[in-house]
Structure 1
Amino acid sequence: MGTWTGKPVTAESTLQIATALACIRLTASTISTLPVNVYREGSGGAHERQPSHPLAVVLKQSPNADQTPVEFLEGMLSALMLWGNAFALKTESAGQIRALTFLSPERMTVRRDPETYELQYIYSEPRGRETYSAAEIWHLRAFGVGGDLGLSPIQYGRQALGLAMATDEAAARTFANGMKPGGFFLSKNQLTEPQRAQARKVLVEPMQGAENAGRIGILEGDAFTWQPITMPLKDAELLATRGLHIEEICRLFGIPPILVGHAANGVTAWGTGIETIVLSWLTTSLGPLLRRIEASMNKALIAPGERGTVWAEFSLEGLLRADSDARAKLYASAAQNGWMKRNEIRRLENLPPEPGGDVLTAQSNLVPLEKLGTIIAPTREVPPANNGEHQ
């Protein structure tokens, strides 16, 4: 893809930008490690987990013969953030998904059949080309404008990415030259080609490289004078430009810069400030992306006869696994306000159920004044004394 800086922007060159790699890795690893469950609507509208459902087995245990669920979803999310589209080949049996095989977006061509106008997926690989129907492919689309394909972030953000590449190269070349700006050796006489080669070997090459910064050279006679080019790094604002492109790339991928190690002016990495930023990311960026993936899974991976009563859904409680304090507060609120049973909480913590833990409970400290004293705790019956008489 062409850019104003002349730097080609591809998936491979984008991943060589540290900020882009960090943004893609953060999103892909966060979502791929969230628990994903399959539910069925039960009596009274209850949501019953279906751990033995074929789709649950595929998404939670083994999507295919070569990948774990985390590796498979990481690949799908990485492809989505690079190309705007991710593809997986569905393997079905008895109307149910039995395997999902990742297909590289680089090798996929999506088109409409000229006669039926149905979607066709043409996949090219070393063994040849294969054409699949829409029913055989799970096509996960990124943000789009209503077409058959999602928009590629690296295609539409290629100018920002190309500028980042050019800035990184300029900084690297500056370090390679010993943090010194360039210049010219001026000769009083016209040099022959052998003299130019000898001058470069004696004067130029030994002075290049960061390891030669500050090195003193020796010139003989009055044949050469040195004319430096004055361009301090502060005047060029090279380092400031690199900081700005970090924020631009984070904006492109919807990641707060602080989450990839870049603290902008006025942003602190401690206290409630970072908590607010993380919450904003979960609400405005990660949340909509999770809903997009769930909608795509429920459309493409649920059997037509089960749609509406069976669905796949990410468990957001997985985001709290590393925060024991927030997890404890959530569980306390759930148990004390009667919207989760204690054994449901224990299952989330991989603990065995306890007797009496399958009832909903609530605190009764907030009751109407006229009801105070009307709820009496049950007392244990005491057998009557026999006054020492023997039966």
Structure 2
Amino acid sequence: MSTKKPGRFAQAALRFLGLDGHLSLEPELLRALLATSSGKHVTVDSALQLSAVFSCVSLISETVSTLPLKIYQRKADGSRDVAVKHPLYNLLCRSPNYEMTPSRFMLMIVASICLWGNSYIEIIRSASGRIISLNPLLPQNMVVIRNKTNGMLKYTYTESGVNREITEKNMMHIRGFGIDGVMGLFKVQKARETIGAAQAAEEAAAKFFENGLQTSGLLSAQGKLTPDQRESLRENMTKFMGSKNAGKMMVLENGMEYHGITMNPEAAQMLETRTFEIEEICRWFRVPPFMVGHLDKQSSWASSTEGMNMQFLTNTLRPLLVNIEQEIARCLIGAAEFETYYVEFSVEGLLRADSKGRAEYYASALDHGWYNRNEVRRKENEAPIPGGDIYTIQSALIPLDKVGTNYKGDNNEQTKPAASR
């Protein structure tokens, strides 16, 4: 049987799946590689139809999209200022391109990483070489191949049926978790067995409720009922249906008995399977299940909202944020400005405690002099006040061995207490 050698794009797809890009595969065999044990063919679109996948991806991408991303300039005294005059400030903080806000731009980047493992942003430059636009591209339309001649990565993008090549210089490629340093792993493809099982469970549950007999109980009689008796009994039973009729006394005649029906083992096992698949999907995306509405088994998580946000930030968001920050610095800032400028997400909003917790935190900051009052007011979105830029500390602290004396720290003088003279 003759086989057709895969083309350039098919070879890239095979390498993306971890296979030899020069293998000759029949279409049936290629489809089999993308199938799952449950019989489901998992794609990004079908995966997003699962509420757990949709919630995990939207939670991560929308949360990151709300975090302010700014470019800072380091100062000689160790402090920093927002570099509002830097050319990248407008692109990162106001409008990355003609159509997008910074929030929508970042949401697309993070969603691409969560689903495809890679995000591609084309860097548009003016004739003088200045960066004027950042255009995110669809990862499913991109093929990445390393040029064997010069070792550079070559990006081929398909748009409206037309292929065009983009040089590595004009591409910001943000990779998710990967093992070769070139491509991030396609998470939906790697998790296809878990997602496929969840899809099969969803479909089985839908068919169960569509075709299965769902009733809370049944009546049994000693003798055979006539059609008229069955109809009369059915009409009488409607008087006991619904929450408004709960607690009414039912009278059974002629040896009839009522048998309540609980959930059968098959339905209970299906419910347990669906619960397990939600937890498995959350594990793939490193999202706490309670954050997507799954409230079982959450006792191991922090008891406060601030603690939960801290764990989510540390375990889920922090690696992603650092990855994006460093890739922006590498591709957009350049080596000449590395020591002076850098970009950073502001995560204070995620760590915002309740009113009591914030009051205690600010009181400690003011007492120890590492915040002044206007800095605290800015964090609370309040206007500054006159004299609020002065740093203050508590001056009543004295050495432990000076307790009981009129200790004066300036000239180190001490006198006996007046009562002992």
Which runs of no fewer than 5 residues in structure 1 stay unpaired? 182-231, 377-391
- 2:192 equivalent to 1:158: yes
Pairwise CA distance, 1:375:
6.4
Q: Counterparts of 1:29-48 in structure 2 under 5 Å?
A: 29-48=62-81
Number of corresponding residues: 325
What's 1:22 paired with? Answer: 55
* TM-superposed deviation, 1:125: 0.6
1:83-102 equivalences under 5 Å are 83-93=116-126, 96-102=130-136
Q: Which residue of 1 aligns with 2:289?
A: 257
Partners of 1:367 and 1:97 in 2: CA distance: 58
Residue 8 of structure 1 corresponds to 41
Query: Per the alignment, do residues 127 and 146 of structure 1 end up closer, same or farther by CA in structure 2, a change over 3 Å counting?
Result: closer
Q: TM-score, normalised by structure 1?
A: 0.76
Question: Which residue of structure 2 lines up, in the alignment, with residue 211 of structure 1?
Answer: none
Instruction: Assess if the C-alpha contact under 8 Å between 1:72 and 1:102 holds in 2.
Output: yes
The residue aligned with 1:104 is 138
**Residue type at the aligned position of 1:62:** S
Do the aligned residues in 1 keep the contact of 2:92 with 2:102 (CA within 8 Å)?
yes
Cα deviation digits, residues 36-66 of structure 1 (max 9, x gap): 1211111122222213322222122111111
SS of match in other structure, 2:376: helix
Change (3 A) 1:41 1:317: same
Deviation at 1:82, TM superposition (A): 0.1
Equivalent in 338, 344, 348 of residue 307 of structure 1: 338
> Which structure ranks higher in relative contact order (CA pairs < 8 Å, sequence separation ≥ 6)?
1
Measured against aligned partners, the alpha-carbon deviations of 1:57-104 in whole angstroms (never above 9, x if no partner) come to 212211111111111101100000000001111123555533211100
Amino acid at match of 1:11: V
TM-score for the superposition, normalised by structure 2: 0.71
1:243 to 275, 287, 305: 275
CA gap of 1:365–1:159, structure 2 versus 1, over 3 A, is: farther
Are the aligned partners of 1:55 and 1:96 in contact in 2 as well (CA < 8 Å)? no
Residues 365 and 35 from structure 1, CA distance in 2 versus in 1: closer, same or farther, beyond 3 angstroms?
farther
Question: Alpha carbons of 1:276 and 1:342: their partners in 2 closer, same or farther (altered >3 Å)?
Answer: closer
Instruction: After superposition, give the CA deviation of every residue in 1:365-386 in whole Å (9 maximum; x if it has no partner).
Output: 433254844469xxxxxxxxxx
SS in 1 for 2:397: coil
- Structure 2: give runs of 5+ residues left out of the alignment: 1-33, 216-262, 412-421
Alignment counterpart, residue 358 of structure 1, candidates 389, 404, 408: 389
Q: Secondary structure at the match of 1:124?
A: strand
Secondary structure in 1 matching 2:59: helix
1:389 alignment partner in structure 2: none
C-alpha separation between the residues in 2 aligned to 1:287 and 1:89? 24
Contact kept, 8 Å, 1:91 with 1:100, in 2: the verdict is yes
Contact 1:320 1:327 in 2 (8 A): no
Task: Calculate percent identity across the aligned residue pairs.
Answer: 40
Distance in 1 separating the partners of 2:143 and 2:173: 12
Q: How does 1:215-230 map to 2 (within 5 A)?
A: none
The equivalent of 1:56 in structure 2 is: 89
RMSD over aligned Cα atoms:
2.6
Which residue does the alignment assign to 1:120? 154
Instruction: Sort the Cα spacing of 1:341 and 1:146 in 2 relative to 1 into closer, same or farther, 3 A.
Output: farther
The residue aligned with 1:176 is: 210
* Mapped contact 1:96–1:302 kept (Cα < 8 A): no
Tell which deviates more after alignment, 356-365 or 146-155: 356-365
Contact 1:84 1:150 in 2 (8 A): yes
